[in-house]
Amino acid sequence: MEISYFSICTACSFFILTSCVSPLEDASDASASNSNSALGGLYADNGIDQTVIVAPLPREEKKHMQEELLELLGLHSRPRPQNQETSQAAPKYMLNLYESFVDEDSGLLKVDGDKLIRVRDRTLTENNASLNSMNEADEIISFPNQVGKQHPRSRNKRFLFDLSKVPADHKVIGAEFHLFKAYSWKQPWFHNFTIFVYLITRGADLEDREMELLDQKLTYTIEKGWIIFNVTRAAELWISSAAKNYGLLIDIISGTGESLDPSDISIALKNGPEDKEGFMVAFFKQSEDEPILARRKRSSTPIKNRRKPQTSKPQNLEEHVAHNGIHRDYPFLGFDVSHSNRACKKKTLYVSFRQLGWQDWIIAPDGYPANFCGGECSFPLNAHMNATNHAIVQTLVHLFNPVQVPKALCAATKLSAITMLYFDDNSNVVLKKYREMIAKGCGCH
């Protein structure tokens, strides 16, 4: 199949092609980019079992494609986070969660619960509801505590999370408040305590404050680990009305009815270790009729119509390499064009985010193996071509009437998803799933 370099057939192929552009550069970005980023971030099979970098597009075309790529990723602009620290509790949890997703045969991504437990500090209250939210969500966002350091002897602890930038059309399918408890040496080892989490519904000041109980958990002196509370109601309220966000408040009551300080049972707070600070995680689902990649209304002018006219337009990746002089000047790097018309098969195509200069906001991955399908679907169609019955019939008819009936085309027969982990403009960590991004199998259609 010939893959048109400038025509966008699917969101997946468009994402792959646009990844060859370098980021929009200004004075602040120039120092962050390296010499490799100018080469682009797209690596492809050269036809002789080698993976080589594909020459970049001219600057103006890069700019247009960069804008389209950000739209496909659901981003209004290139994120510019102020804090890129990944050692804090929320980013560490999100990175562990990212590493726990596995690609199933169906092409979907699911969390390996056992793997998540192994890579994280012990979770005292993990349940199936958490795993269900992780697996169902299209997007997962963590929010650090925005409240400054509090007095260590304050009995009531307030936590504030900024969800004001979350789009109102995001459907919340779950939200969790994570609180870390260390071993407590101040209390007898057999004592138990109940931690209550309240939604502050009115009044930031203590005297006129109104609260609603969201969740409560029982814990013991000798326990150590993360305690997870269900705060879905809070996330729904704060996204629908940011003005009603007064935060959460925790209260701790002993088994004998005594009110305690969080420090009495070794609850980690803002003034504690940064990798043990409390944080919030929310799970979001896109509506069924919403595009899985793009959120904004796309430009009505296709990219190919915004381009400057060229005399000889390359029609596929092999021709693009030859067109840009790589094959002529460096034969060992180019495609072997004379052997490009091979049987339909999967070929290597790697997208490097790092060489795009995006490592300042994309935490993981550094890139991904997108792959592509290329080659001929000519008679006879062998078994390894994974041809459909329709493709076989079409190929036979093409032999008798090649003018009116085209050959069957080489296309992806199996696609899988990827996850991306990145900082948004508020330095919140976002984990997002993108379906049908990797070509796993090819065949004639």
- DSSP letters along 305-359, please? HHSPP-SS---SHHHHHHHTTHHHH-TTTS--GGG---BSEEE-EEEESGGGT-T
Better-predicted residue by pLDDT, 42 or 400: 400
CA pair distance 115, 96, nearest whole angstrom:
9
Fill in the amino acid letter for 378: S
Residues of 315-325 as b/e, b for ≥16 C-beta within 10 angstroms? ebbbbbbbbbe
Helix (H, G, I), strand (E, B), or coil: what is residue 443?
Answer: strand
What per-residue confidence (pLDDT) applies to 200? 93
pTM for the predicted model, two decimal places? 0.72
Evaluate if residue 61 carries a pLDDT over 50.
Answer: yes
- Of residues 268 and 349, more confidence is placed in 349
State the number of CA atoms in the 13 A half-sphere of 362 facing the CB.
21
CA atoms of 357 and 379, how far apart (whole Å): 45
List, for residues 120-156, the tens digit of each pLDDT value.
555 655 556 678 888 888 899 999 998 865 555 555 5
**Rounded to whole angstroms, how far apart are CA atoms 245 and 163?**
9
Lowest-confidence segment of 70-84, 138-152, 321-335 by average pLDDT: 321-335
The full length of the chain comes to 445
Assign 294 to helix, strand or coil: coil
Spatial distance between the Cα atoms of 172 and 233, rounded to a whole number of angstroms: 9
Please give the CATH topology (third level) of the domain spanning 121-285.
Hemocyanin; Chain: A, domain 2 (2.60.310)
Contact 158, 147 (CB under 8 A): yes
Determine the CATH number of domain 11-74+293-418+438-444.
2.10.90.10
pLDDT of residue 18: 38
Each residue's pLDDT tens digit, 234-255: 999 999 988 899 999 999 998 8
pLDDT at 327 over 60: no
pLDDT in the model for residue 197: 96
Which is more confident, 264 or 410?
410
Rounded to the nearest angstrom, the gap between the alpha carbon of residue 328 and the centroid of all alpha carbons in its chain is: 38
**Higher-confidence residue: 228 or 17?**
228
pLDDT for 42: 58
Low-confidence winner among 24-33, 114-123, 203-212 (lowest mean pLDDT): 24-33
For residue 299, pLDDT over 50 is answered with: no
- Residue 323 pLDDT > 50, yes or no? no
CA distance 346 to 349: 9
State residue 13's pLDDT score: 38
Geometric angle at alpha carbon 427, from 363 and 140, rounded to 5°:
70
Measured at the CA of 398, the angle between CA 397 and CA 401, to 5 degrees, comes to 85
Residue 339's pLDDT is: 37
Q: Using 50, 70 and 90 to split pLDDT, how confident is the model at 332?
A: very low
Counting residues of the chain whose pLDDT is more than 90, the rounded percentage is: 17
pLDDT for res 232: 95
- Among the ranges given (212-226, 249-263, 375-389), the one the predictor scored with the smallest mean pLDDT: 375-389
**Residues with Cβ < 8 Å from 57, sequence gap 6 or more?**
20, 21, 40, 65
Tokens 């995001």 appear where? 170
Average pLDDT of span 224-234:
93
Q: Which residue has the tokens 């390359």?
A: 314
Tokens linked to 58? 């001219």
Q: Report, as an integer, the average pLDDT of 295-300.
A: 45
pLDDT computed for residue 265 by the predictor: 80
Q: For the chain, what is the largest distance between any 2 Cα atoms, rounded to a whole number of angstroms?
A: 90
The pLDDT value given to residue 21: 35
Q: Could you state, in order of their start, the residue ranges of all structural domains in the chain?
A: 11-74+293-418+438-444, 121-285
What's the chain's Rg over C-alpha atoms?
27
Q: Are 333 and 326 in contact (CB under 8 A)?
A: yes
Contact 138, 433 (CB under 8 A): yes
On average, the pLDDT of the chain sits at 72
Using left for φ > 0, alpha for ψ between -120 and 50, and beta otherwise, residue 141 falls in: beta
The predicted model gives 27-56 an average pLDDT of 51
189 contacts 253 by C-beta, under 8 angstroms:
no
Q: Within a 13 Å sphere around the CA of 63, how many CA atoms are in the beta-carbon half?
A: 7
Residue 281 vs residue 318, higher pLDDT: 281
CA–CA dist 179, 202 (Å, integer) = 23
CA 148 to chain centre: 29
Q: Which of 189-203, 250-264, 293-307, 389-403 has the lowest mean pLDDT?
A: 293-307
More confident residue, 117 or 286: 286
pLDDT band at 34 (very low <50, low <70, confident <90, very high): very low
pLDDT of res. 314:
46
pLDDT of residue 20: 39
Helix (H) or strand (E) holding 96: helix 89-100
Lowest-confidence segment of 44-58, 149-163, 308-322 by average pLDDT: 308-322
How many other C-beta atoms can be found within 10 angstroms of the C-beta atom of residue 3? Answer: 22
SS (H, E, C) 191-238: CEEEEEEEEEEECCCHHHCEEEEEEEEEEECCCCEEEEEECHHHHHHH
- Give 359's Cβ-side CA count (13 Å radius): 13
Nearest partner of 17 among 375, 438, 351, judged by Cα: 351
* Strands 410-423 vs 157-159: parallel, antiparallel or unpaired: unpaired
Can you state the angle between helices 59-72 and 11-18, rounded to 10 degrees?
A: 140
Residue 69, C-beta contacts closer than 8 angstroms, at least 6 positions apart:
15, 18, 19, 21
How high is the pLDDT of residue 435?
85
262 pLDDT band, cuts 50/70/90, is confident
Q: What is the pLDDT of residues 376-395, one digit of tens each?
A: 887 777 766 777 777 777 77
What average pLDDT does the segment 52-69 reach? 67
Three-state secondary structure call for residue 21: coil
